[in-house]
């Protein structure tokens, strides 16, 4: 995709969102609010229906349980006392009783007049006719004078001593109070209706218990098979949305209706319409932001990817590859050109590395030849002092050879992990000088190749001095070497438990060539050399400034691939 095409896309992104947002809000807002109000009302109705179904299921189980008492139904007084005790402990029920097929009451929790005739009531006739659990219509009790809802089911004990129904009378007002205590949306009106559309209870409660005309219209339509949500118009001209569901326990006998006044649900519609204008302005700003983000994705991202790859390669990461972009775009052409240039640079770097390794190899050979010449010369020297000096010179040449060999084996020209380097020096020194053991404790430290060479020669001098002079030949011991970061820089310590230092020892005035090398190297790097006389032994401490450390090589470079993990390592 060309830059011109990308800019065209940015302009389209800037213009499309506000236009689409205004059109969408204009066409869909009212429909969306109505649908949401209906879904909320239906969800509330289903929730109440499920809880009422649980109440009815519990009532059915309770009726089965109370009839298991040994006194039911034969011992009238005990049976009545048992029913009264059950009802008294459950406040949602007003009464419990048994009624035989002739309409005669038994075991009633309250006194029943002998002349009371219930044979015309649905809660009496239907369970005897259908043999199923039945919920009657809400009525005002002829005995209690209070609103009641009769729930009944057939009852016939195994011994055939009774044939009739067991009845529990619910207190609708008590059930309504329990539902009203729960969190209820302010704009929802709950109506629980019996099979004839009479109000069992309402939330918020009303004293008249009259069903609203809009709810009655929705109820009649629901009974004819429509719904479950309806939008009806009130006599005052306002709309109401009502959702109805049947009770699972008695699907044709109890209904839950939740109504929402659309005027309340859409009260903020005009405010929202005005806000849409503000939202359109915000959408334009968002479109500009989207254009900015799209510019970052379509333009800035490929450019930054090219720049990041170039920086990684500049830092020495030869594995970094320029991204593959479409060849038909300007970025694709640029990426191809940079890739070709990088390939050429990689070839030159490989050639340079080959020449450098060849040079290192020749330096190593030259140092090996020089070491052999010094050895041969020392054998022909007549003076003991001369032989000792030639031997010391050979040892220093060997230490430099060791450094070069390590640089050669790491296959890198970048920063060196000196902790690993120091452990190698300790191991080779221990192998070269016999029985004394060297314990090396290091932290990861990256330094340049030149710094690594100088530090290696310096530490090799300290270690070989300790190996030669700390312990008698027949009494080998341990030498402790450590490398760690401290508050004021990088600290090296070389410690032994041997014979200690002469009383007049001073590093700066020592005639030893080794200590002259040590002190000059410490001064060159701005470090500080000190020593401690131990009992037994001696300890040399060198602290270099932190700036001798260089940044760890980037992942993927040769130096990083050959560096040890970042953790302190101990070796013996």
**Over 70: is that where the pLDDT of 489 sits?**
yes
518: in domain: yes
Give pairs for 324-332: CB < 8 Å, separation 24+.
326/1, 328/1, 328/2, 329/1, 329/2, 329/3, 330/2, 330/3, 331/302, 331/303, 331/306
For the domain that residue 417 is a member of, what is the CATH number? 3.30.565.10
Q: Please say which residue of 410, 426, 458 terminates a domain.
A: 410
In this structure, the strands spanning 105-106 and 188-194 are: unpaired
Q: Please say which residue of 356, 382, 410 terminates a domain.
A: 410
Please state the rounded mean pLDDT for residues 389-415.
Answer: 65
Same domain, 568 and 420: yes
Please give the mean pLDDT across all residues of the chain: 80
Q: Are 66 and 84 in contact (CB under 8 A)?
A: no
pLDDT at 568: 40
Question: In degrees rounded to 5, what are phi and psi of residue 566?
Answer: -80, 85
525: in domain: yes
Same domain, 433 and 564: yes
**Over 70: is that where the pLDDT of 377 sits?**
yes
Same domain, 484 and 458: yes
Q: Which domain holds residue 393?
A: 315-410
Q: Please say which residue of 376, 391, 410 terminates a domain.
A: 410
Beta bridge partners of 193: 199, 255
Same domain, 422 and 571: yes
pLDDT at 564: 45
pLDDT at 126: 92
**Over 90: is that where the pLDDT of 12 sits?**
no
**How does DSSP classify residue 228?**
S
Sign of the four-CA dihedral 174, 179, 182, 188:
negative
> Tens digits of per-residue pLDDT, 547-564?
888 877 655 454 444 444
Whose tokens are 């830092």? That residue is 315
Same domain, 400 and 456: no
* Alpha helix (H) residue ranges in 224-329: 262-265, 269-295, 301-314
Same domain, 375 and 477: no
- As for how many domains the chain has, the answer is 2
Please state the rounded mean pLDDT for residues 511-529.
Answer: 84
Query: Which of 157-166, 198-207, 369-378, 529-538 has the lowest average pLDDT?
Result: 369-378
**What is the four-CA torsion angle of 89, 91, 92, 96, rounded to 10 degrees?**
50
Q: Measured at the alpha carbon of residue 387, what is the angle toward residues 385 and 390, in degrees to the nearest 5?
A: 110
Same domain, 364 and 433: no
Same domain, 446 and 561: yes
Sequence length of the chain is 572
Same domain, 448 and 361: no
Beta bridge partners of 442: 483, 569
Secondary structure string (H, E, C) spanning 331-350: HHHHHHHHHHHHHHHHHHHH
Same domain, 568 and 424: yes
**What is the four-CA torsion angle of 112, 114, 115, 117, rounded to 10 degrees?**
60
226: in domain: no
Same domain, 417 and 343: no
Same domain, 397 and 416: no
**Over 90: is that where the pLDDT of 98 sits?**
yes
Q: Helix (H, G, I), strand (E, B), or coil: what is residue 571?
A: strand
**Over 90: is that where the pLDDT of 150 sits?**
yes
Beta bridge partners of 542: 492, 529
> Tens digits of per-residue pLDDT, 329-361?
777 777 777 777 877 777 776 777 667 666 666
Q: Measured at the alpha carbon of residue 263, what is the angle toward residues 261 and 265, in degrees to the nearest 5?
A: 70
**Over 50: is that where the pLDDT of 82 sits?**
yes
- In 3D space, the residue among 88, 411, 531, 41 whose CA is nearest the CA of residue 262 turns out to be 41
């Amino acid at each position: 995709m060309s830059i011109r095409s990308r800019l065209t896309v940015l302009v389209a992104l800037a213009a499309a969102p506000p236009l689409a947002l205004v059109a969408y809000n204009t066409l869909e807002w009212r429909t969306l609010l109505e649908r949401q109000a209906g879904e909320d009302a239906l969800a509330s109705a289903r929730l109440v229906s499920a809880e009422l179904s649980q109440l009815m299921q519990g009532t059915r189980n309770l009726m089965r349980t109370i009839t298991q008492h040994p006194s039911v139904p034969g011992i009238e007084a005990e049976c009545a006392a048992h029913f009264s005790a059950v009802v008294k402990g459950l406040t949602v029920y007003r009464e419990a009783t048994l009624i035989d097929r002739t309409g005669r009451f038994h075991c009633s929790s309250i006194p029943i007049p002998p002349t009371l005739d219930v044979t015309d009531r649905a809660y009496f006739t239907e369970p005897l006719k259908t043999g199923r659990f039945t919920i009657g219509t809400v009525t005002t009790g002829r005995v209690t004078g209070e609103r009641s809802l009769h729930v009944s089911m057939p009852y016939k004990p195994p011994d055939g001593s009774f044939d009739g129904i067991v009845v529990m009378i619910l207190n609708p007002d008590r059930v309504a109070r329990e539902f009203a205590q729960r969190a209820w949306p302010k704009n929802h009106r709950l109506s629980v209706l019996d099979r004839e559309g009479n109000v069992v209870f309402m939330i918020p409660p009303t004293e008249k218990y009259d069903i609203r005309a809009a709810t009655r219209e929705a109820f009649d339509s629901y009974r004819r098979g429509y719904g479950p949500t309806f939008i009806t118009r009130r006599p005052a001209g306002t709309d109401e949305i009502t959702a109805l569901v049947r009770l699972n326990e008695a699907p044709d006998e109890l209904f839950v209706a939740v109504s929402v006044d659309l005027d309340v649900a859409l009260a903020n519609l005009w405010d929202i319409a005005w806000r849409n204008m503000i939202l359109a302005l915000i959408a334009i700003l968002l479109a500009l932001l989207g254009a900015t983000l799209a510019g970052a994705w379509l333009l800035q991202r490929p450019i930054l990817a090219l720049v990041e790859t170039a920086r990684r390669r500049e830092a020495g990461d030869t594995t970094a590859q320029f991204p593959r972009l479409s060849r038909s775009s300007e970025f694709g052409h640029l990426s191809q050109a940079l890739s070709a240039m990088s390939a050429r640079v990689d070839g030159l770097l490989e050639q340079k590395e080959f020449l450098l390794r060849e040079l290192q190899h020749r330096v190593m050979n030259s140092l090996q030849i020089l070491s052999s010449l010094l050895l041969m010369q020392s054998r022909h020297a007549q003076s003991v002092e001369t032989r000792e000096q030639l031997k010391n010179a050979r040892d220093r040449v060997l230490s430099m050879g060791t450094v070069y060999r390590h640089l050669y084996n790491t296959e890198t020209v970048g920063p060196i992990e000196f902790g690993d380097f120091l452990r190698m020096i300790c191991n080779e020194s221990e192998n070269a000088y016999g029985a004394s053991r060297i314990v090396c404790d290091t932290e990861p430290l990256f330094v340049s190749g030149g710094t690594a060479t100088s530090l290696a020669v310096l530490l090799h001098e300290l270690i070989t001095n300790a190996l030669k002079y700390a312990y008698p030949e027949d009494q080998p011991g341990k030498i402790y070497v450590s490398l760690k970061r401290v508050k004021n820089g990088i600290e090296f310590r070389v410690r032994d438990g041997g014979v200690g230092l002469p009383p007049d020892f001073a590093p700066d005035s020592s005639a030893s060539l080794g200590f002259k090398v040590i002190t000059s190297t410490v001064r060159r790097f701005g470090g500080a050399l000190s020593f401690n006389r131990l009992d037994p032994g001696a300890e040399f401490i060198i602290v270099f400034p932190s700036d001798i450390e260089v940044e760890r090589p980037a992942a993927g470079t040769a130096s990083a691939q050959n560096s040890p993990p970042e953790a302190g390592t101990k070796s013996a």
